[in-house]
Amino acid sequence: MIAPVVDAAWVREHRADVVLADVRWYLDGRSGRDAYDGGHLPGAVFVDLDTRLAGPATPAGGRHPLPEPEAFARAMGELGIGDGDTVVAYDDAGGITAARLVWMLRATGHDAALLDGGLTAWDEPLETEPVVRAPASFTARPWPADRIATADDAADPANVVVDGRTRERYLGLDDPVDARWGHVPGARSLPVRENVADDGRVLPVEALRRRFAAVGIDGTAPVVSYCGSGVNACHTLLLAEHAGLGGGRLFPGSWSAWSADETRPVATGEA
């Protein structure tokens, strides 16, 4: 399988053999589609997070639950992504959104990687015309149980549970989207944006290993990753794999599902 992170030079070398996917999305309500239309990598298709990479929001499932396998397969096929395609996804935020598509594809056995640095790493002209690929055959596969965590798994002290949201949201000082503020008791703060350097590229592997080791991710402990709604948490899992520390499990409902359940306790401040 392709490495979880590739650079622009790799993409240029293998351009004829990959499908580029633009997965820009913004928590503040800006339109990812508008950003794509304003300029995207040549040949890239736009993948809408809300309609292609998530099922309908529910209190129990959170804001971005994983879609049913059949719905995901249909979405990929309509975008022209087939079973045998290699996908390289990007955004303009260090990959923290594009990681959702990459994780979903890799979890179901498909070749996919993040473009390191995303849009900012591309030093060639962009295109503005939308890209439409011919429909492709994409087989529905169940989400593997060993890659998925539940709320009970997030509550289990036997797991290393990491929270990928901003430090402020973890501490319970600010949360623009959820009614209850704070974090899952026992979870450690590991903001995904801090996995990325100022230039938009992921940190060197040794730096990532030090960051992950500081919260207990050492390649041996079982890891559960969550964030606000199960999107950015995929970035943590991909970079742990990139750093040689295993894959871990995604809690898809993440904080949006946990905080909606009044029976679940909430912690604030430092873990």
Please list the active-site residues: 227
Q: Helix, strand, or coil here: 38?
A: helix
Q: Residue 108: what residue type?
A: T
Q: Are strands 188-189 and 160-163 parallel, antiparallel or unpaired?
A: parallel
CA neighbor of 228 nearest in space, from 62, 91, 61: 62
For 135-175, the DSSP string reads P------PPPGGGB--HHHHH-TTSEEEE-S-HHHHHTS--
Place of tokens 């559960």: 224
Count the neighbouring beta carbons within 10 Å of the beta carbon of residue 124. 8
Give φ, ψ of 140 to 5 degrees. Answer: -70, 130
Q: Residue 226: what residue type?
A: Y
